[in-house]
């Protein structure tokens, strides 16, 4: 399942890359830096911001902000604060004028800055319309952001970091990039759980120790859990600070489903044992006793095909 969807995404990525080299319309500014200026159609901006579930408490950063449409829409339609960075002084001026027209100058800012040096630590939402290799260069910085930070990208994904959501939009007015169609990707920065964890769960009136050994690649988790001298495989997924892991039923041991909220060295949630009417739901918490590394170092760049 994972392999198939990755394959599709790689094809999309390379198709988009070739199409991205097409000529720009005469009216567009060229942009500066590592990619030319191509504006994201407004319907795509709106849909991406909705995928990011942006709201008044959010702080958006648009990397390569062009005429400011992501930043201005985040503020004017969704009440967020936002800033954009670009290297093109013409576009920065245009973005400031557009912010003035939209009446959001108190909520937005545009800065002349190289997006690879931008401090992203304040962001709760990041938007990009950049080339695939630029997204991959930024990926380690994205993975290091606060868990729960949302990243939305247009036309180009983040390589083998699988999106939490992806959509395609038919956009007849789009003449460059992928003409007529936009690919939208949304990611939630996962909390980190690799390493060893311990729990004590009261099962059937008996305190039962559980020991977990977890590996993590992006938001996917796999590992082993030791339950009553039995070691069973676990698979799961993290969405921001939420985790869900399942040990399938095997050799007389019922299915165990662990879900909870990840804190600093703790997970608090529930354990469901068994399925159907006989299932039992118990409070579950775990404590980290040894930290591990992410399966793939966050700063390791994948091969770009
Ligand atoms: C494809 S346009 C996207 C504009 C806008 N985000 C949108 O989606 O409508 C990319 C923008 O990135 C800017 N850019 C390219 N390389 C940059 C860099 N290294 N630092 C800052 N901005 C850069 C270009 O000037 C251009 O405005």
Q: What is the pLDDT of residue 304?
A: 44
**In residues, how long is the chain?**
305
Q: What is the pLDDT of residue 31?
A: 66
Helices (H), the chain: 2-20, 42-51, 69-78, 89-102, 132-143
Report percent pLDDT > 90 for the chain: 78
Cα 85 to middle of ligand 1, angstroms = 8
Q: What is the pLDDT of residue 229?
A: 85
Dihedral of alpha carbons 156, 159, 163, 166, sign: positive
Ligand 1 binding residues, C-beta < 6 A: 31-35, 37-40, 62, 64-66, 69-70, 85-88, 91, 114-116, 129
Q: State how far the Cα of 200 lies from the Cα of 227, in Å rounded to an integer.
A: 10
Nearest atom of ligand 1 to the alpha carbon of 114: 20
Given pLDDT bands bounded at 50, 70 and 90, which one contains residue 11?
very low
**Across residues 286-293, what is the average pLDDT?**
96
| CA-proximal residue: ligand 1, atom 20 (nearest) | 114
Q: What is the pLDDT of residue 299?
A: 52
Cα 67 to middle of ligand 1, angstroms = 9
- For the cut 80, the answer to whether the pLDDT of residue 81 exceeds it is yes
Closest CA to 268 of 245, 242, 294: 242
- Identify any residues that bridge with 213 across adjacent strands, giving them in sequence order: 196, 224
Q: Between the ranges 8-12, 59-63, 172-176, where is the mean pLDDT highest?
A: 59-63
- Token digits for 171? 């956009």
Residue-wise pLDDT tens digits, 107-126: 999 999 999 999 999 999 99
Cα 129 to middle of ligand 1, angstroms = 7
Residue-wise pLDDT tens digits, 203-230: 888 899 999 999 999 999 999 999 888 8
Q: State how far the Cα of 99 lies from the Cα of 81, in Å rounded to an integer.
A: 12
Q: What is the pLDDT of residue 295?
A: 85
Cα 65 to middle of ligand 1, angstroms = 5
Residue-wise pLDDT tens digits, 176-191: 878 999 999 999 999 9
Cα 8 to middle of ligand 1, angstroms = 26
Cα 234 to middle of ligand 1, angstroms = 42
- For the cut 70, the answer to whether the pLDDT of residue 261 exceeds it is yes
Q: State how far the Cα of 171 lies from the Cα of 176, in Å rounded to an integer.
A: 11
Q: What is the pLDDT of residue 228?
A: 82
* DSSP-assigned letters across all residues of 38-62: -PPPHHHHHHHHHHTT--TT-EEEE
Q: State how far the Cα of 160 lies from the Cα of 28, in Å rounded to an integer.
A: 32
* Best of 20, 27, 62, 86 for a ligand 1 pocket test (most atoms within 8 Å of beta carbon): 86
Q: What is the pLDDT of residue 204?
A: 81
Q: What is the pLDDT of residue 252?
A: 84
- Token digits for 179? 């003409």
Q: State how far the Cα of 24 lies from the Cα of 36, in Å rounded to an integer.
A: 8
* Best of 25, 29, 30, 31 for a ligand 1 pocket test (most atoms within 8 Å of beta carbon): 31
**Across residues 30-35, what is the average pLDDT?**
76
Q: What is the pLDDT of residue 118?
A: 98
| CA-proximal residue: ligand 1, atom 27 (nearest) | 66
**Across residues 239-263, what is the average pLDDT?**
95
Nearest atom of ligand 1 to the alpha carbon of 32: 25
End-to-end CA distance of the chain: 21
Closest CA to 199 of 100, 119, 134, 269: 269
Q: State how far the Cα of 70 lies from the Cα of 110, in Å rounded to an integer.
A: 12
Q: What is the pLDDT of residue 197?
A: 98
* Local structure of 212: helix, strand or coil: strand
- For the cut 60, the answer to whether the pLDDT of residue 23 exceeds it is no
Nearest atom of ligand 1 to the alpha carbon of 127: 6
The rounded mean pLDDT for the chain is 89
- For the cut 50, the answer to whether the pLDDT of residue 13 exceeds it is no
- Rounded to a whole number of angstroms, the CA Rg of the chain reads 22
Strand 108-112's sheet: what is its strand order? 108-112, 81-86, 59-63, 125-128, 150-154, 180-188, 165-171
Q: State how far the Cα of 257 lies from the Cα of 232, in Å rounded to an integer.
A: 12
Given pLDDT bands bounded at 50, 70 and 90, which one contains residue 135?
very high
């Amino acid at each position: 399942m994972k392999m198939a969807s990755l394959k599709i995404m790689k094809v999309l990525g390379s198709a988009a890359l070739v199409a991205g080299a097409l000529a720009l319309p005469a009216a567009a500014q060229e942009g500066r830096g590592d990619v030319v200026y191509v504006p994201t159609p407004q319907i795509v901006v709106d849909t991406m911001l909705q995928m990011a579930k942006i709201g008044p408490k959010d702080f958006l950063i648009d990397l390569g902000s062009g005429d400011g449409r992501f930043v201005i829409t985040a503020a004017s339609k969704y009440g967020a604060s936002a800033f954009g960075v670009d290297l093109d002084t013409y576009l920065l001026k245009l973005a400031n004028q557009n912010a003035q027209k939209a009446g959001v100058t108190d909520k937005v800012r545009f800065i002349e800055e190289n997006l690879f040096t931008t401090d992203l630590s304040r962001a709760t939402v990041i938007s990009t319309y950049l080339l695939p290799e630029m997204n991959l260069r930024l990926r380690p910085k994205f993975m290091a952001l606060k868990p729960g930070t949302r990243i939305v990208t247009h036309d180009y994904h983040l390589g083998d970091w699988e999106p939490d959501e992806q959509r395609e939009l038919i956009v007849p007015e789009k003449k460059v990039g992928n003409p007529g169609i936009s690919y939208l990707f949304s990611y939630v920065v996962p909390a980190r759980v690799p390493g060893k964890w311990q729990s004590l769960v009261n099962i059937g009136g008996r305190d039962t120790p559980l020991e977990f050994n977890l590996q993590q690649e992006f938001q996917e988790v796999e590992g082993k859990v030791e339950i009553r001298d039995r070691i069973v495989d676990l698979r799961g997924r993290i969405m921001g600070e939420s985790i869900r892991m399942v040990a399938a039923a095997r050799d007389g041991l019922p299915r165990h489903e662990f879900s909870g909220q990840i804190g600093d060295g703790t997970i608090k949630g529930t354990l469901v044992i068994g399925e159907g009417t006989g299932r039992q739901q118990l409070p579950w918490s775990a404590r980290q006793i040894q930290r591990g590394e992410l399966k793939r170092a966050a700063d390791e760049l994948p091969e770009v095909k």
